[in-house]
Structure 1
Amino acid sequence: MDIVLVPGMWLGGWAWYAVAPLLEAAGHRPHPVTLPGMERGDVDRSATLADAVAAVVAQIDACDGPVVLVGHSAACGVASLAVDARPDRVARAIYVAGFPATDGQPLVRGYEPVDGVVPLPAWSQFDDADVRDLGEGGMAALTGAAVPTPWGIVGDAARFAGDERRYDVPVTAIATEYSSADLREWIAAGAPQVQEFTRIRDLTFVDIPTGHWPMLTRPDDLAEAILAQPPIGTGRIRAAVSAKRFHEAPGLEEWRVLYWGAYAFYATGSFAEAARFTAAIGDISAAVGHEPDVDVRPRGVTVRTFTRSDGGLSESDVDLAQRVSAVARELGLRSDPTQVQQVGIAVAEAPDADSRPFWAAAFGYDELGLTDAVDRHRRGPHLSFQPLESGRSGRGRMHVDVSVPREIAEARVQAAVAAGGRVADASHAPMWWTLASPDNHGVDIAAWPDFEGSDHDRA
């Protein structure tokens, strides 16, 4: 199915770069739209709201059949006006972190134009909820990629044509920095900016708890939510599972949640024994419909399972891990959680630098989200990119992250100190420790993924 993706303020079609491939992999045709005046570079930014709506309508008309129309933030208003213009061509509208337009009102309030545009404000102007999961690296990357929004797009008064058929188009409202419960309360209280929702005859609410830019912070969850909506899907969304929830599931005592997924190690006496176990895992994978990563060595098999491209877990991972553990017990294999770990490399860069493309090219990696680069075959350490802290003299601009089970983290720290290192920062223990080598290079011993959702995680 054709899925038209319209990004909000300061963004171009590029913003869907992590979502669009997931939609395409599921057999659909994503069409990211860059609204007029939102191109990068020195371009005419005198576009109006009518121009923006016309661009979306043109993309709808270019598709062969009915489309799913996805709007983000202020572009939810643009999308709703496109629904009004083509109610017979939109099978469903999905409004992400935003609301449909209000007749006679501009799409946004609280911004003042500067030379006919609205530049991205300073991050201090956003609420904490807006920037949740974005991180300093994400903020720096978004600052570098953002383009000023033409005032005409967000400042012009919206005008519906009056075609009541727009209320027959099913709508999904995806709540991100606020909850769907909040949105329902605003609707019930008569808040003017959300009253268009009251006229929609088929309205579904979905929560993706994150900040205002879920296509950047939680692209897997956003793609899954889009794919779940009828007529694409059945409405069922696989819920994310925290480390706490994973560990509470029965039969998973030998599993640990590290960077990029949940892991278990099983000792084997020979390659043939490891291969038999791996074949059994293959049968489990086929039965569950979920594929793990398996590292096979003569003296042991390491299994990693995850659902999201950032390593996030779902109930599918719980199911698969339980079955793998049961088969391992049947085969008499001994597990050893102390043998699992995951290594990452963190690169610090100046605020105005963008070294990620270089590192991704040098490693042959794919860029992921705003701050990472990963091995598409999941063999090498992941790369993350962080702003360089000013005044941090005498330290390298790169450090290594070592993700380990929480029960061995402190012992790993002690071993590194005994080998000549020192603890540079223990303020986040037992979540992680920052160590310095004898020549002052940094290593983080990280146990925090295994604490996710626990009291330590909330501390």
Structure 2
Amino acid sequence: MSGDAAPLPTRAAISAAVDPLGWRLVLGRLITHVPVASLREAAQVATVAAAVDAHGHLGADLHEHLTVLYLHTRAVGAVTERDLRLAATLTATLAEHGHVTVPGAPAAVPQTLEIAIDALDIPLIRPFWQAVTGYVDDPAPPDLPAGALLDPLRRGPAIWFQQMDAPRPQRNRIHVDVDVPPEAAAGRIEAALAAGGTLVHAGAAPAFWVLADPEGNEACICTWQGRD
């Protein structure tokens, strides 16, 4: 049986396997940062990594100071056993070329943004958001509800739709979810509170905490924990 056909590992098992390698599980993908000294070196890192990935599981963003690598199995929208093996191989191969995989730095924590839109009639409003953003359908969006919309180049935040049962005029109906590694959540929450925010709800922690700005607009700090 291939790695992609096998049962999916739990989020806890994924984290235990990749955290020591400098990767982090964030919204259904493995992410690592590889520090570099130039954009040319960033491209070299991506070239080395791409030579290891024979199945199209890898994505990369290049910056002048780091290469960001992403791993997940696109066909199922999740991290599989094959991805865990690939993360280990990539880490070892990059080390052979003098590069390290690290889980980010305080100024650049691996994270993913989502925009959640509450709606009474999701099929009615979804085409508008797809048209105005130019986003595309994804049959298996990583760790997102069915019907989520994604930037075709993965530049912007994912957009997903949350079913409402009745109108809710007393609070905002669009909020931002910020997905971070578990160890980064407390610091992000403390910073938000110090900046004038309030903690609205922590009952679902550590999956997510709901925060609000001084005018009541909400955002969530999210992690993979508490979701298996």
- Specify if TM > 0.5: yes
Aligned pair partner of 1:402 in 145, 153, 178: 178
Say what the alpha-carbon RMSD is for the aligned residues.
Answer: 2.5
Deviation at residue 334 of structure 1 after TM alignment: 4.1
1:252–1:322 CA contact under 8 A, matched in 2: no
Deviation of 1:445 after TM superposition, in Å, equals: 0.4
Q: Deviations over 1:203-252 (max 9, x none)?
A: xxxxxxxxxxxxxxxxxxxxxxxxx9xxxxx9x93432322222333785
For residue 264 of structure 1, what is the aligned residue in structure 2? 32
Q: Which amino acid counterpart does residue 124 of structure 2 have in structure 1?
A: D
3-state SS of 2:84 partner: helix
* TM-score, normalised with respect to structure 1: 0.44
Within a 5 Å distance, the mapping from 1:210-221 to structure 2 comes to none
Rounded to whole Å, the distance in 2 between the matches of 1:249 and 1:378 is 26
Structure 2: which amino acid aligns with 1:360? Q
Could you tell me how far apart the structure 1 residues matched to 2:150 and 2:49 are?
25
Residues 57-68 of structure 1 correspond to what in structure 2 (within 5 A)?
Answer: none
Structure 2 residue corresponding to 1:358, chosen from 106, 128, 135: 128
Which structure 1 segments of 5+ residues have no match?
1-227, 229-233
Deviation digits for residues 101-141 of structure 1 (CA, Å, limit 9, x no counterpart): xxxxxxxxxxxxxxxxxxxxxxxxxxxxxxxxxxxxxxxxx
Distance 1:250 1:261, change over 3 A: closer
Whether the 8 Å contact between 2:122 and 2:161 is mirrored in structure 1 is no
In structure 2, stretches of 5+ residues that fail to align are 140-145
CA contact (8 A) 1:252 1:325 kept: no
Partner of 2:10: 242
- The one of 418, 421, 428 aligned to 2:197: 421
TM-score (norm 2): 0.84
Partner of 1:240: helix, strand, or coil? Answer: coil
Rg larger in 1 or in 2?
A: 1
**Residues 79-103 of structure 1: per-residue CA shift (max 9 Å, x gap):** xxxxxxxxxxxxxxxxxxxxxxxxx
- Are 1:285 and 2:53 counterparts? yes
Q: Does the 8 Å CA contact 1:345/1:398 hold for their aligned counterparts?
A: yes
1:327 maps to 93
Secondary structure of 2:50's counterpart equals helix
SS at match of 1:361: helix
Q: Indicate yes or no: 2:114 matched with 1:348.
A: no
Structure 2 contact 58–70 (Cα < 8 Å) conserved = yes
Give the match's secondary structure for 1:298.
Answer: coil
Distance apart, 1:408 and its partner CA: 0.7
Higher relative helix content:
1
Percent sequence identity over aligned pairs:
29
Q: CA deviation at 1:435?
A: 0.7
Q: Distance in 1 between matches of 2:16 and 2:170?
A: 44
C-alpha distance in 2 between matches for 1:306 and 1:356: 26
Instruction: Kindly indicate whether the alpha-carbon contact (under 8 Å) linking 2:200 and 2:212 is maintained by their aligned counterparts in 1.
Output: yes
Residue matched to 2:153: 377
Q: Is the counterpart of residue 367 in structure 1 residue 143 in structure 2?
A: no
How many residues end up aligned between the 2 structures?
Answer: 217
Letter in 2 for 1:408: A
Q: Distance between the aligned counterparts of 1:352 and 1:282, measured in 2? A: 38
Residues 112 and 178, structure 2, Cα contact 8 Å, conserved in 1: yes
Cα shift at 1:256? 1.0
CA distance in 1, matches of 2:85, 2:211: 37
Equivalent residue of 2:130, what SS? helix
Whether the aligned pair in 2 keeps the contact of 1:261 and 1:305 (CA below 8 Å) is: yes
TM superposition shift of 1:291: 3.1
Which structure has more relative contact order (CA 8 Å, sep 6+)? It is: 2
**Which runs of structure 2 are paired with 1:8-407 in the superposition (5 Å)?**
237-249=5-17, 252-286=20-54, 289-309=55-75, 311-338=77-104, 339-351=109-121, 354-368=124-138, 370-388=146-164, 390=166, 392-407=168-183
Change (3 A) 1:314 1:352: closer
Name the CA shift for 1:311/1:257 in 2 (closer, same or farther; >3 Å): farther
Q: How has the CA–CA distance of structure 1 residues 438 and 353 changed in structure 2, closer, same or farther, with 3 Å as cutoff?
A: farther
- Equivalent position of 1:53 in the other structure: none
Residue type of the alignment partner of 1:376: P
The one-letter code of the counterpart of 2:199 is V
Indicate conservation of the 8 Å contact 1:256/1:337, yes or no. yes
| 1:24-50 CA-partner distances (Å, limit 9, x unpaired) | xxxxxxxxxxxxxxxxxxxxxxxxxxx
Q: What residue in structure 2 maps to residue 165 of structure 1?
A: none
